[in-house]
């Protein structure tokens, strides 16, 4: 387990050592360094240090994002380096927006990674309960029935995390941005509260002024990610204008008063709106894109699922399956993309040398192949390290192109683990063989690319622990 001293030492090494520091201070969530020689700073090493959520450079100052534990890390750092402690600075002292595409892209990835990576233990735990259910259930060992207490309990443990995912993300996203974590959780709870979920598809009026259509946002990421981001600015605004004596009551209340309509009317439905646009666009592309279309959908599938923007495609696939008995586009692409995710987990497991990270990667493999749960590997490897996600997209694309050329069809929908191979059986021997080859390509290409190119040589995951 990484201690504050270990974390401080790793950051000190990455910043170029104590002799490279001209001044070190901190704010609410960040360590802030003025350095003598910028070439001595190893930003990648700092960024990939366990416990570091990101690193930014602003106004010639390096800012290492830690979160709420930053005072303890700062105390350890000043002690190790033997430098004087400085007074904390205002979090917003240099809050300037860099509008360059690279900066915006990195900010988005850092925010997403910082919000999702802390949830990996919960994701993996829930996924392992799902794995136990799949292993003992009727589809495999048949030791428990779907009506048994054990089956219901394992399903409940899975849903306890994934159904309430917006609540968990509300906490971690708020922590990442340095705003009220309780309000972040409240924002997430609003998206899954039963009374509002029951109104799914119905028109609902916020404060009698703002009409909206209600949706079920359980297991979604994008609505809460956007809501907490906007909430950080709303809360900051009210903190500035409301006197301290009144802030305890009115800052959270006024923040939520504003955020309820902003989230339910504007931000939360964005995933559905964007999903409809992207889904309809990909469906249209499927009619003109030839054999490439299935590959493109397979490449993008995991991203669409992570953001909840895959619903239109799912409806199209199910409709095709019900009307014709087979789907040769969406469901086939989704199945191939799932095996590409399995390949990312396997490639990561083979390549990673850090014992803790390797154990997690093994969990990703098991929970994926047996439990059919890919979220842990998507966030634990794909989002965290970024390169494996690209490898997965390439593997999915190549496997999808092969499936399209061989006219592979999916005849069932249900299993998302290795039993998903059964979806090809009803199409005959050739369909089964080519279906297996297509997923093997997706799995193999992704595993190889993840192993060879998925990690930087300085990543902590490649260092023996």
pTM for this model (two decimals): 0.77
Query: What CA–CA distance (Å, rounded) separates 9 from 19?
Result: 14
Nearest to 320 by CA among 395, 410, 233: 410
Tell me phi and psi for residue 125, to 5 degrees: -65, -50
Query: What CA–CA distance (Å, rounded) separates 400 from 333?
Result: 6
Distance of CA 267 to the CA centre of its chain: 18
Q: 3-state class of 210 per DSSP?
A: strand
Place of tokens 């159904």: 163
From residue 427, alpha-carbon distances to 32, 322, 419, 423, 430 in Å are 61, 15, 16, 8, 8
Burial class (CB in 10 A: 0-12, 13-18, 19+), 241: exposed
Query: What CA–CA distance (Å, rounded) separates 116 from 445?
Result: 26
Q: Which residues are bridge partners to 24 per DSSP?
A: 33
From residue 381, alpha-carbon distances to 28, 145, 308, 365, 378 in Å are 28, 34, 19, 12, 6
Alpha helices in 202-310 (DSSP H): 222-241, 244-261, 270-288, 291-306
From residue 239, alpha-carbon distances to 233, 245, 449 in Å are 10, 11, 48
Please, are residues 443 and 339 in contact by the beta-carbon 8 Å criterion? yes
Taken as a whole, the chain contains a residue count of 465
Place of tokens 């696939």: 317
Report how far apart the first and last C-alpha atoms of the chain are (Å, whole number): 10
Instruction: Name, in order, each residue with C-beta under 8 angstroms of 320's C-beta and a sequence gap of 6 or more.
Output: 326, 327, 328, 329, 330, 331
Nearest to 334 by CA among 437, 439, 426: 439
Nearest to 157 by CA among 134, 117, 128: 128
Q: 3-state class of 34 per DSSP?
A: strand
Query: What CA–CA distance (Å, rounded) separates 98 from 91?
Result: 17
Please, are residues 32 and 89 in contact by the beta-carbon 8 Å criterion? yes
Structural domain boundaries in the chain: 4-95, 163-268, 275-462
**Whole-number pLDDT of residue 94:** 52
Place of tokens 């004596």: 245
Query: What CA–CA distance (Å, rounded) separates 365 from 349?
Result: 8
Structure tokens at 459: 């990543």
**Whole-number pLDDT of residue 456:** 86
Averages of pLDDT over each 10 residues, the chain, 465 residues: 82 91 86 87 87 79 84 91 79 56 77 88 94 93 95 96 96 89 96 95 94 92 94 93 89 96 94 84 89 95 86 88 92 96 97 92 95 93 92 98 96 89 94 97 98 88 77
Q: 3-state class of 52 per DSSP?
A: coil
Segment (H or E) for 106: helix 101-116
CATH top class, domain 4-95: alpha beta
**Whole-number pLDDT of residue 92:** 54
Q: How many helices (H) and strands (E) does the chain have?
A: 20, 6
Instruction: Tell me, letter by letter, the H, E, C secondary structure of 334-403.
Output: HHHHHHHHHHHHHHHHHHCCCHHHHHHHHHHHHHHHCCCCCHHHHHHHHHHHCHHHHHHHHHHHHHHHHH
Structure tokens at 79: 């002690």
Q: Which residues are bridge partners to 56 per DSSP?
A: 63
Query: What CA–CA distance (Å, rounded) separates 68 from 32?
Result: 14
């Amino acid at each position: 387990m990484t201690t504050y001293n270990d974390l401080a030492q790793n950051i000190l090494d990455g910043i170029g050592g104590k002799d490279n520091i001209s001044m070190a201070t901190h704010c609410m969530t960040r360590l802030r360094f003025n350095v003598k020689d910028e070439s001595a700073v190893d930003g990648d090493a700092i960024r990939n240090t366990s416990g570091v959520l990101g690193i930014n450079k602003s106004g010639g100052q390096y800012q290492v994002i830690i979160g709420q534990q930053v005072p303890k890390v700062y105390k350890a750092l000043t002690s190790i380096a033997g430098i004087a402690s400085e007074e904390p600075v205002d979090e917003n002292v240099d809050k300037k927006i860099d509008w360059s595409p690279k900066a915006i892209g990195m900010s988005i990835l850092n925010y997403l990674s910082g919000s999702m990576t802390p949830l990996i233990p919960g994701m993996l735990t829930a996924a392992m309960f799902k794995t136990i259910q799949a292993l003992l259930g009727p589809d495999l060992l048949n030791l428990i029935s779907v009506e048994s207490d054990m089956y219901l309990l394992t399903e409940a443990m899975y849903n306890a995390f994934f159904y309430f995912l917006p609540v968990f993300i509300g906490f971690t996203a708020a922590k990442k941005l340095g705003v009220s974590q309780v309000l972040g959780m409240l924002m997430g709870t609003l998206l899954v509260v039963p009374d509002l979920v029951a109104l799914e598809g119905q028109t609902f009026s916020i404060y009698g002024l703002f009409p909206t259509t209600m949706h079920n946002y359980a297991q979604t990421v994008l609505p809460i990610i956007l809501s907490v981001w906007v909430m950080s600015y709303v809360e900051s605004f009210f903190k500035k204008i409301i006197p301290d004596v009144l802030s305890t009551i009115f800052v959270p209340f006024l923040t939520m008063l504003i955020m309820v309509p902003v989230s339910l009317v504007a931000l939360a439905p964005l995933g559905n709106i964007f999903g409809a646009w992207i889904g309809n666009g990909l469906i249209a592309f499927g009619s003109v894109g030839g054999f490439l279309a299935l590959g493109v959908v397979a490449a993008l599938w995991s991203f669409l699922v992570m953001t909840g923007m895959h619903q239109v495609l799912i409806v199209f696939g199910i409709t095709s399956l019900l009307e014709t008995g087979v789907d040769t586009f969406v469901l086939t692409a989704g199945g191939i993309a799932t095996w590409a995710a399995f390949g990312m987990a396997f490639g990561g497991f083979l390549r990673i040398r850090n014992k803790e990270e390797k154990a997690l990667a093994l969990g990703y493999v098991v929970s994926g192949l047996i439990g059919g749960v890919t979220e842990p590997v998507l966030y634990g490897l794909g989002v965290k390290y970024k390169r494996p996600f690209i490898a997965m997209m390439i593997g999915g694309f190549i496997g999808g192109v092969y499936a399209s050329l061989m006219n592979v069809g999916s005849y069932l929908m249900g299993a998302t683990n290795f039993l998903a191979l059964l979806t090809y059986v009803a199409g005959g021997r050739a369909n089964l063989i080519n279906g297996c080859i297509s997923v093997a390509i997706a799995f193999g290409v992704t595993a190889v690319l993840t192993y060879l190119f998925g990690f930087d040589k300085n990543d902590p995951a490649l260092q023996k622990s």
